Amino acid sequence: MLKKIIFIIFCLFISIPTFAEDGLDMTYQNGIYHIVIPYSPTHNHINFVLADTLMTNKEAHKLTKAIFTINTGFFDPNNGKTISYVYTDGKETESPLLNENLINNPYIMMHWDSIANRPEFRVMKVGNKYIYDIVSHNVPYEGELITSAQGGPLLIPEIDLEKEFFVVKNSMGDVIRETASVLHKTARTIIGLKDNDIHIFIITDKNPMTIHEARDLCMTYRLDKAMAFDGGSSTSFNYKKKIHVVSTGIKGDDTGRKLKSFMIFK
């Protein structure tokens, strides 16, 4: 693991600046986009939105007229309903408890406390100051919750795939169930915080990572907190009309998977 972290650090030093405008900084190197949104206590430029029907990241980007758009929470492709809590413009947009495919699945509901308490990225307003945080869903918040999106797993400060029901092991310690391809190399959408600045990593098909490798990447930047959003074929990123990134794992083209929730920057 030490050699792996040293290699990632080396790549950071040779990273190539891409953009430094619109109130954010972006670099691209070795198949990874790194976006930094500097903290401003008096202004919030992000919102998490939930589509009524599934749409591609590019469609959401165009519809919301955002500067950039990324995929966020998990969803059920069979009925188009959310599996992750999303809070938009001060209101709960939709709860996964309204998804009949979840509540009618005995195995899922047996582990619902773990699934429902997966981490989320929050934007809150306390007095006149905006605050960002990454915490488990059931953790109380201060002030007013402006917007949030749930995903997982939590990467920093501690990763625990079994606790969040991304991995199930038998009594011998063998993995018998895995979700979100956490143990396999795939594209990833990662969000983190360092000194209140927001860090986003779009890990593309050109450099797929396991969730532990994504955690190691976050550690090289010494992030205070970090979590994953839905990844794999859901990983998507649009910046203005300049950048369009999707995982080509399903269709083999650049259309992108139809998704449920998005983070927009305006």
pLDDT band of residue 10 (cuts 50, 70, 90) is very low
Rounded Cα distance, 202 and 31, in Å: 8
Look at 10 and 129; give whichever has higher pLDDT: 129
pTM to 2 decimal places: 0.91
What is the rounded distance in angstroms from the CA atom of residue 9 to the CA atom of residue 233? 27
Q: What is the mean pLDDT of residues 105-119?
A: 95
What count of other Cβ atoms lies within 10 Å of the Cβ of residue 248? 16
Mean pLDDT of 63-90: 95
Strands laid side by side in the 46-55 sheet = 46-55, 259-265, 68-71, 236-239, 243-246
The helix-helix angle for 211-220 and 2-13 (nearest 10°) equals 60
Question: CA-CA distance, 106 to 260, in Å (whole number)?
Answer: 24
- The total of other beta-carbon atoms located within 10 Å of residue 125's CB is 16
What is 129-178 written as a DSSP string? EEEEEEEETTS--SSEEEEEEE---EEES---TTTTTSEEE-TTS-EEEE
Structure confidence by residue, pLDDT tens digits, 161-195: 999 999 999 999 899 999 999 999 999 999 999 99
Per DSSP, 12 falls in state H
Per-residue model confidence as pLDDT tens digits over 118-143:
999 999 999 999 999 999 999 999 89
Q: What pLDDT was estimated at residue 256?
A: 87
CA distance 121 to 135: 7
Q: Are strands 188-194 and 225-228 parallel, antiparallel or unpaired?
A: antiparallel
pLDDT at 237 over 70: yes
Give the pair of three-digit tokens for residue 236.
């998507």
